[in-house]
Chains A and B, each alone.
Chain A
Amino acid sequence: MESDIIKLNGVNKWFGDLHVLQDVDLSIRRGERVVICGPSGSGKSTLIRCINRLEQHDEGSIVVDGIELNQDTENVAAIRREVGMVFQHFNLFPHLSVLENCALPQIRARGASRDQAEAKAMEYLRRVRIPEQASKFPSQLSGGQQQRVAIARSLCMEPKVMLFDEPTSALDPEMIKEVLDVIIDLAQSGMTMICVTHEMGFAKKVADTVVFMDAGRIVEKAPPQQLFENPQSERTKLFLSQILSH
């Protein structure tokens, strides 16, 4: 089995005239935990959204678990089944209960029976520590609880990779910890993950690799100690001084 689960090669993307991803090369090993940071507009979210094709890249190649992302919708579907994603604004289905949120995708995309799907949903809801909320609707939960449901919903698909797109940015401060704890648990269980976040403490704690992006480019890529304590690029230093100074 190849050790790199995700390989990006010379990826470029434009939004109109805006060059949002510029010659991005990135390889991620199985089990690797990657944190992507950088100023807003630097292309972090676009990068991970390209990995499950919520955005299309214009040039270069993206290979996930041996499958190349291209116009073939079968490939896209196969990759999406292996790659879970957690969004900044949770994006739970408001018309479905917590349990149904977790069960529906398994039934429709994995062909699970309702019983199997609900059993697995309960298993993962226990893992994110909210099994008692299973029959409630998303709007009845706090932001932190909703984000944990979103994580459980993704995990129910048993993905090989998890993508987190600023999972705590929309949360009140007192709820950030409960969500980060769940993600840390997951990281420690060996899940391959890519997390876009500004939580530097989290990055130091769980990341194997931190990627710093600016203006659509990967500026620097290094283990957390090295990147935080001994950044090589002036741009990285400036960014770190800004976010760590307060």
Chain B
Amino acid sequence: MSELKSRRLTVRARTRFTRWDLVLAMVLVLAVAGLLWRASGVFSYKWAWSTVWPFVFRFDELTASWVPNLLAEGLATTLRLAFWGILAASLIGTVMGFARVSQRLVFRLIGTAYVMLIRNIPPVVFVFVFVYFIASQIMPTLALGDRAKELSPALQWWVSVFFGTPKLLDNFLLGLLCLSVFSGAYVTEIVRAGIQSVPQAQIEAGNSLGMSQADVTRFVVLPQAFRNVLPPMAGQLIQLIKDSSLVSLVSIQELTFMAQDVQITTQRVFEVFVFTGAIYFVICFTLSQVFASLERRYARALK
């Protein structure tokens, strides 16, 4: 309580720019300048950014208009993966997080097995195993892509806005499922830590006031857990966006996959990947800011 107050004060005090910060900044600038000067001697490269732009948008002769090309389409897929992935991973993580702390052994076992299985294999290996052995069996059975094609044009339009073109729907959902199941395991652990960070006394207080277990969970435990895990959760969801590039390994046509395509076509490794990196940075940085403002809002409420 008062401890929290003093921590906020020290954070504020630390933001002052002192003499030592100036010295450090100057050393840093000199080091970078020196490095660039050394590099310019050995590194000669003719940047050709103009080769990248047509792959973002191209001029379509038939309709005489600009249409998105590979990189813009890849970006759209990445954004869709990020949006649905964050929702799905949060949902899986919340359900599994509660399973991890459940009174029932079966739920605890399911939650623990899920987390342990995913946390202890490398992400790349997980993607291959999941896609080739599991999802390639499930997705064709569901045949959601084919079903989407039978929808009315208006509905098809909505589907294509939220999930991409029906032609690639199975492909997209496969990537999404893979990413959500993978990230969900890490979210599970964060949710578990959050639930356990709320003191038992809070639950007792809610119980003693006659509130049902569900109400105590919803109105007492979850809001406090959510606030406590906001920083690690922000990190994990930003990680999810970056991890979405992993599914390019199994031909999900998101930004990284498209970038590789364009890079092979143009032989312009630096331009294509510097551009791709910048886009990821903008997306992740935006999300960081959103979380930072959420944290500030909660900190204000606690002041």
Contact = CB atoms under 8 A, between A and B. Distances in A.
A34 interface: no
Interface string B204-244: 11111111100100011001100100000000000000000
B210 A105 contact: yes
B205 A93 contact: yes
A81 B215 CA distance: 14
A157 B209 contact: yes
A87 B205 contact: yes
A110 B215 CA distance: 12
Contacts of B219: 104, 108
Contacts of B207: 52, 54, 80
A87 B302 contact: no
Contact of B302 (A80, A109, A137, A154): A137
Contacts of A81: 210
B212 A108 contact: yes
Given A87-B204, A91-B205, A139-B1, A108 B211 contact: yes
Interface residues of A, number: 27
B209 A109 contact: yes
Interface in B1-49: 1-2, 4-5
A117 interface: no
B147 interface: no
Contacts of A84: 208-209
Interface of A: 52, 54, 77, 80-81, 83-85, 87, 89, 91-95, 104-105, 108-110, 137-140, 153-154, 157
A93 B220 contact: yes
B303 A54 contact: no
A139 B201 CA distance: 16
B51 interface: no
A105 B303 CA distance: 24
A154 B204 contact: no
Contacts of B302: 94-95, 137, 139
A155 to B, nearest CB: 11
Contacts of A94: 1, 224, 302
A109 B215 CA distance: 9
Given A87-B204, A95-B301, A109 B210 contact: yes
Contacts of B227: 95
B251 interface: no
B209 A154 contact: yes
A80 B224 contact: no
A233 B236 CA distance: 63
B201 A87 contact: yes
A54 B204 contact: yes
6 contacts: A54-B204, A80-B210, A87-B201, A91-B202, A139-B5, A157-B209
A105 B211 contact: yes
Given A105-B209, A109-B209, A91 B204 contact: yes
Given A54-B204, A109-B211, 19 more contacts: A77-B212, A81-B210, A84-B208, A87-B201, A87-B204, A93-B202, A93-B205, A93-B224, A94-B224, A95-B224, A95-B227, A95-B302, A108-B212, A109-B209, A109-B210, A110-B210, A137-B301, A138-B1, A140-B303
Contacts of B211: 104-105, 108-109
Contacts of A139: 1-2, 4-5, 302-303
Those 6 A-B pairs whose CB atoms lie nearest each other, nearest first? A91-B205, A81-B210, A105-B209, A109-B210, A85-B208, A139-B1
A94 B207 CA distance: 16
A193 B302 CA distance: 33
B208 to A, nearest CB: 4
